[in-house]
Structure 1
């Protein structure tokens, strides 16, 4: 029997590899257990080049942070690093991914322009053995997401604590939403749930700016001020909230005791927090840290190591008090990843997958909050 074991293992590996070709992946929503890094190793992918590529939709600050983390991980793991910029062109992104697959690139990270249109190309890359990681949208060998309700809850709870402390539980609030983007709606459900705990809080405007940008926030807040010139609290994504702050300043309605808070950790928001005034906090999803994690997982994949099927980006509250530590982490994400305590403050990992089980990729919109 001992002589048969290596042959049995070889046959098993062959069967798994062949079943991966054309596999639809896991299409039914499934709960994932915590990632087990000590799980047995797998085969190393054959004939893949030690190249990590980032197919990115555009150059917004959040995505540039992912780029920074990936580049550092590639350098630390002796992988060639490439960037393919689609500039919001879905057809170009598909062409870029197909070219990377044809070249047998070992790892591809994607921030999709059009997830549905790109999905067949990503599946073909995974069938060929390439590591594929995506920001939010399936399919992916390892899928990245943010617990959206928790993200909104961090901002909502902070606003409630401030209202209790500074305004004796009474405040007029403007909520600038992104409810047109379905996957972000839990953020604003959480904020409303938090505000509902204070009976004397009045939401004077609950509206989604169009466009969802600084310009949209500026235009929307100008209209709100006409009807409600007294505002104590403004909440939403950093981009639109920064526009709202500009409108308040133009109208002479900004005050140092206001609570203006956002989500995304944008540099301009951080600059406002640094100089003091009404902008009190932002909730950041530290993109350099999770970018580094995806790059490290690509390197582990090529070595036959197990990697997580999914990762949560944990929301991180940035205030004037902890800004310095946060900026150090952004600058050196590799050091954060190497320190389990610091890494666990930003990331949570779920499920196990490796080259031999690559047909078990996620092909549904996974979220830990749905488990």
Structure 2
């Protein structure tokens, strides 16, 4: 029986609390109490058309300050990349930028959002490990007329997601090809999941499906490190190695897989023929791939500085009364030795990428239209462009 963190008896995970919260809203009991606050947004799963950049402008928000704030969940590299892109866009568009690092403290996140609301901040991008807890305060920001951007969970005037199944499949296919070519079709696999985020489940479902179809492959651990950081990955892998000292494949987000690599090295269990692969294209993972002899073989980039820059630009557009996308796909890119140099240049300076539609479309795909006058149409359901 593999070590399965999903069976570890955690009560009421954040994702379940979120969906219970949404269910209560849909039943109407909570709507009655909060109807005076503002519209609930789009709560039913909706397929948005392609974004129309030529859509008519509308009224700019009034009474809000030209401030772009970033509630940053923690300081892992992926979110540092978001910060880099947002800061550059704010500078380019004349917005005051505020980064508020909360280090996984939900109470602090709520406090900061309420402070931004009181200060009449015009734009906010927020990430949190507990989306249900901050949901209503984000709605209050939207009702105030502010731009609200989120990465994966709603509510938002601009919600970003990756095609999660496709993202997981790109990484899984690379790992399977390695197992067949380098490991004789046999492998002990560790999946470092993010089960506290229900929205990310498809990326791990495709991993399980792919490996379970291989007779010579055993998933020896399927667990969600807590927190989703390098330290969380390190501690989780240390525990796994006590029961399973021979590990061939490790998949998860780059943050936790780099921590797992550190644990393998500390235990003397790292090998050049292993396949460690992650998602996010974080700098440490990219550096490992370029070494050539590292167990780290692949990273699926979600280009956080590029989409961070785009979010900052759309926040500025919103404050000018322009129409912006309601939702945006972050397209997965498999990093190889052939494209890493250009990728790193794009992350360092995302402005030219955003300015060139052909380059931008390689990273992002946009859907729907919304502006200040139509803000009652904000996204308040777990949007994905994927049908699966």
Name the TM-score, length of structure 2 as normaliser.
0.82
Partner in structure 2 of residue 261 of structure 1: 277
Partner in structure 2 of residue 275 of structure 1: 291
State the shift of 1:213 in Å.
4.3
Distance (whole Å) between structure 2 residues aligned to residue 215 and residue 90 of structure 1: 19
| 202 and 96 in structure 1: CA distance in 2 versus 1, 3 angstrom threshold | closer
State the shift of 1:314 in Å.
1.8
State the shift of 1:196 in Å.
4.2
Q: Where in structure 1 are there 5+ consecutive unaligned residues?
A: 1-18
Partner in structure 1 of residue 352 of structure 2: 335
State the shift of 1:327 in Å.
0.7
Distance (whole Å) between structure 1 residues aligned to residue 56 and residue 208 of structure 2: 45
Aligned structure 1 segments of 4 or more residues deviating by more than 6 angstroms: none
| Contact 1:25 1:363 survives alignment (8 Å) | yes
SS in 1 for 2:386: helix
TM-superposition CA deviations, 1:323-359 (whole Å, max 9, x none): 2111101101111111112212221111111111111
State the shift of 1:215 in Å.
4.4
Partner in structure 2 of residue 293 of structure 1: 310
Q: Where in structure 2 are there 5+ consecutive unaligned residues?
A: 1-34
Partner in structure 1 of residue 264 of structure 2: 248
State the shift of 1:66 in Å.
1.1
Partner in structure 2 of residue 346 of structure 1: 363
State the shift of 1:220 in Å.
4.5
Matches within 5 A, 1:44-193: 44-112=60-128, 114-193=130-209
| Contact 1:20 1:358 survives alignment (8 Å) | no
| 322 and 139 in structure 1: CA distance in 2 versus 1, 3 angstrom threshold | same
Name the TM-score, length of structure 1 as normaliser.
0.85
Matches within 5 A, 1:284-323: 284-323=301-340
Distance (whole Å) between structure 2 residues aligned to residue 248 and residue 113 of structure 1: 27
Partner in structure 2 of residue 4 of structure 1: none
Distance (whole Å) between structure 2 residues aligned to residue 98 and residue 297 of structure 1: 22
| 163 and 69 in structure 1: CA distance in 2 versus 1, 3 angstrom threshold | same
| Contact 1:29 1:364 survives alignment (8 Å) | yes
Matches within 5 A, 1:195-274: 195-209=211-225, 212-222=228-238, 224-225=240-241, 228-274=244-290
Distance (whole Å) between structure 2 residues aligned to residue 246 and residue 50 of structure 1: 43
| 339 and 231 in structure 1: CA distance in 2 versus 1, 3 angstrom threshold | same
Please say which of residues 28-37 and 207-216 is displaced more in the overlay.
207-216
SS in 2 for 1:144: strand
Partner in structure 1 of residue 15 of structure 2: none
Distance (whole Å) between structure 2 residues aligned to residue 46 and residue 228 of structure 1: 60
Please say which of residues 26-35 and 241-250 is displaced more in the overlay.
241-250
- Report the count of equivalent residues: 353
| 230 and 112 in structure 1: CA distance in 2 versus 1, 3 angstrom threshold | closer
State the shift of 1:22 in Å.
1.5
| Contact 1:20 1:127 survives alignment (8 Å) | no
State the shift of 1:49 in Å.
2.6
Distance (whole Å) between structure 1 residues aligned to residue 65 and residue 239 of structure 2: 55
